[in-house]
Amino acid sequence: MIRKLTKDDTENCLQFLKQKPAENLFIIGDIEAFGMETDFQTCWGEFNEQGEFVAVLLKYYENYIPYAPATFNASAFAGIMKQDPKFGAMSCLKAVAEQIEPFLPSYQIKRELYYAKCIAVAPEIHKSNNIVETAIPDDAEELVQFLGEIPEFSASQPLSVEKKREDLETGFSRSFIVRQEGSIVANASTTAENSSSAMVIAVATLDAYKNKGYATACVHNLCQALLNEGKEPCLFYDNPKAGSIYKRIGFRDIGFWMMYHF
């Protein structure tokens, strides 16, 4: 049986999703932040004969995120998406995508990223760990300026100073940084933090300070802080060289994350 979820389903749904907190980072975060149904968010659940969750489908604006730990009624979930005139994107684990993709219309873009999580950090791996600082909201302007100097980030839509400050203040995001000569030269941040997991993003070092272990130290300290709070750090990567660095810190691949645009 598949039906829309209500606030009365919240506890059981989150209990189901938190069996895999990293894998369900986005669904958990959106439900905790916005509830089961708003004008831009809707959730559906599939249940077995015992009334237990089998799968969850979350709509956030035009993007859908399906999740199931095993087989599920993929054709029915695809039907919900296709009936929505605003349906424009889907993102999910590859094992879920492989079940649902045959029932969806032709996509314009399909992207596959490695997905990794950390359940324990390696012992301290670089002397730079002791110079890592936790950014505060007053660092927002400098952080935005720093990210604008990183080529792989400068082409993306810039983050406003106001949004960065708000994210740091509310705990939606945190940043660990290294300073040299009074300026930020390396960073690792989180986004989409929820009660069980957090996405690690914006791992970067200025060119003049690379190969000193600064970014690695930022990620190491960031992950340790998250794990101390009972949160699973996770991240996407598409560069195997970067993946090898993350694995030395303690990350392990948990599959692939698929992103579709229709």
Average pLDDT estimate for 110-120:
96
* Per-residue pLDDT at 153 exceeds 90: no
**226, 190 in Cβ contact below 8 A?**
yes
Least confident interval from 58-62, 65-69, 244-248: 244-248
pLDDT digits (tens, 9 = 90+) for 194-222: 999 999 999 999 999 999 999 999 999 99
Instruction: Give me the pLDDT at residue 180, please.
Output: 95
Q: If pLDDT is split at 50, 70 and 90, which confidence band does 159 have?
A: confident
Report the C-alpha gap between 239 and 214 in whole angstroms. Answer: 19
Residue 154: is its pLDDT beyond 80? Answer: no
What is each CA distance from 79 to 73, 104, 179, 250, in whole angstroms?
10, 8, 51, 39
User: Which pLDDT score is estimated for 106?
Assistant: 95
Mean pLDDT of the chain: 94
pLDDT reading at 124 higher than 80: no
Say whether pLDDT at 225 is over 90: yes
Helices 140-148 and 161-170: crossing angle in degrees, nearest 10, is: 120
Q: Considering the domain 117-255, what is its CATH architecture?
A: 3-Layer(aba) Sandwich (3.40)
pTM of the model: 0.89
pLDDT at 241 over 90: no
pLDDT at 125: 64
- pLDDT single digits (tens) 21-40: 999 999 999 999 999 989 99
pLDDT at position 130:
79
Whole-number Å distance between alpha carbons of 240 and 248:
13
CB-based contact 47:54 (threshold 8 Å): yes
The secondary structure of 210-248 as a DSSP string is TTSSHHHHHHHHHHHHHHHTT-EEEEEE--HHHHHHHHH
Mean pLDDT for the stretch of residues 137-148? 95
- Domain at 2-105, CATH from 3.40.630, 1.25.40, 3.30.420, 1.10.20: 3.40.630
Share above pLDDT 70 across residues of the chain, in percent, rounded to a whole number? 96
Tokens at 6, concatenated: 């209500």
Query: Taking the domains of the chain in order of start, what are their residue ranges?
Result: 2-105, 117-255
pLDDT at 240: 84
How confident is the model over 220-241, as a mean pLDDT? 94
pLDDT band for 242, please (50, 70, 90 cuts).
confident
Alpha-carbon distance of 194 to 28, in angstroms, equals 7
- Residue 71: the pLDDT is 98
Q: Do the Cβ atoms of 97 and 104 come closer than 8 Å?
A: no
Mean pLDDT on 154-173: 84
Instruction: Express the helix, strand and coil content of the chain in percent, nearest 5 each.
Output: 40, 30, 30
